[in-house]
Chain A
Amino acid sequence: MTATELALAERATVRDALSKPFTPGEKLRLALEIVGVYVKVRIWLLRRELPGVLEAVRSADRPVAEDVGLVQQATGYRLGRVVGRTLSKLPADSRCLVRSLVLSRLLARRGIPASLVIGVKLDPEFAAHAWVESGGMALLPAGETEYGRLLEL
């Protein structure tokens, strides 16, 4: 393939990763995966401190790539939206940290490198927020203009 053909092929793959509709079967499998991971994350949070939970979340059989490509970022971004929508529809703890940990698990299973970021803001009152980034791109709402980065794991 020529360089142009490769570039066009990648654009098509990224577009698909972002917007190709899920089949009903894929939707169901993904929803079940998210719920299953959510339950595990809640249990881990009861038993471990955050670094330990993150270690558990990231311990997937699939090796994680060192660098993240556009397709992976697009996949991660879409997964982030699905995780947010799925957890918000359930009587679940949809706090940012839980959402971030659930997404991190899904990403680890797909070999997509990502980091968990925790930010804080002081005005008008103190608040903390967690989100996931991959390749410098936020895969969950980051509120970057409001929150100063405190920690990246």
Chain B
Amino acid sequence: MNTNSNCSLLAEAIHVPEHVVFRTFVQETVILNLQTGKYHGLNPVGGRMLEVLQRTPTVHEAAAQLADEYQRPREEMEHDLCTFCDELLARGLIELQAVQGA
């Protein structure tokens, strides 16, 4: 399994732009992109991923938290989260934000 290209996002910070709004329901998280007028749906795991990505400084830290929550190996969660971020980026639902210098 080649994860190299996906894992380039691990050090990045994720930002949900102002033109994207979302709300979590029991079955699904609904996202509206005001720029495109399109709605997107995330299953509960995807919704939780988005929520954690928004609150943690980097994708790497989000993966650590989610791996702990879902009792999954960290490498596997990092790969899944990077793939998830790629998909959201492709749809304009998240942006990469410059990480504050240490």
Contacts and interface: CB of A to CB of B under 8 A. Distances in A.
Interface of A: 49-51, 118, 120, 122, 126, 128, 148-151
B27 A49 contact: no
A150 B34 contact: no
Nearest to B27: A122
Given A122-B27, A122-B28, A128 B39 contact: yes
Contacts of B27: 122
Interface of B: 19, 21-23, 25, 27-28, 30, 32, 34-35, 37, 39, 41
A50 B37 contact: yes
B35 A126 contact: no
B19 A122 contact: no
Contact of B21 (A122, A148, A151): A151
Given A122-B27, A150-B32, A49 B37 contact: yes
20 contacts: A49-B19, A49-B34, A49-B37, A50-B34, A50-B37, A51-B34, A118-B32, A120-B23, A120-B32, A120-B39, A122-B25, A122-B27, A122-B28, A126-B39, A126-B41, A148-B23, A149-B23, A150-B21, A150-B22, A150-B30
